[in-house]
Every structure is written in structure tokens, then in C-alpha cells.
Amino acid sequence: MAEETIFSKIVRREIPSDIVYQDDLVTAFRDITPKAPTHVLIIPNHLIPTINDITEADETALGRMMSVAAKIAKEEGIDEDGYRLIMNCNEHGGQEVFHIHMHLIGGRKLGPMLAK
């Protein structure tokens, strides 16, 4: 797996991105091809290629990803109506960038999770 991703460059602010939150553990930024009115990616600042690569040492960053998702949902005004959090793992799971990331999607009724 890669040691450097486009997300690593976003964390370091080497490429432009609409960052909505950043601290010492995680960074959140708007997806460049949003699937809903609110579509934010939340990532750990250090590279973890897939969910399969998570270790016990990563638990603090992963917990922060969840609390940041709730914070952003409230700021975006989608916390009351609801939103979806999605993490993909590997090719069959739909993962495209091998730096784990959580999609925060909302702002409209999302419908069924998977198409038949």
C-alpha cells in the first residue's frame, strides 16, 4: 500500500481543499464530487491504508473521527433530519483512496443504502 496519498497532501495543506475541520488527529474537508448537499470526508491525519490496517494505537483518532462527524453534522444543520456515515474497505467495498476516510453525507433524504 502507498505511504503517501492525496489525502496526506490535504492534511499538510499542500494542495487546495475546502477544509471544514482540522486538529492534531483528524482533518475534514468537502468532497470534490459531492453526492448530496453535505458531503464531507473525515480522515485520520496519519496514513492508515484500509480498515484492515487499524491497530489499537489508532483508536483515539477513530473515535475523534466519529465525534467530529457529529460536530460537523450539527454545524451543517443536518443532525436533526439525519445523515449517513460510510467507510469503504478495499476494491470490492468501493475504496478508491487507500487512506481510510469516512464520508459524512446528508442534506436530503438518502434512500436505500445499496442498490439491488
Per DSSP, the residues of 15-60 read S---EEEE-SSEEEEE-SS-SSSEEEEEEESS---SGGG--GGGHH
Helix (H, G, I), strand (E, B) or coil at 86: strand
Helix (H, G, I), strand (E, B) or coil at 85: strand
β 83-86/102-106 pair status: antiparallel
Count of helix runs (H) and strand runs (E) in the chain: 3, 5
Among candidate residues 39, 99, 101, 103, the one labeled active-site is 101
Cell numbers for 75? 454545524
| Active-site annotation holds for 103 | no
Active site residues: 101
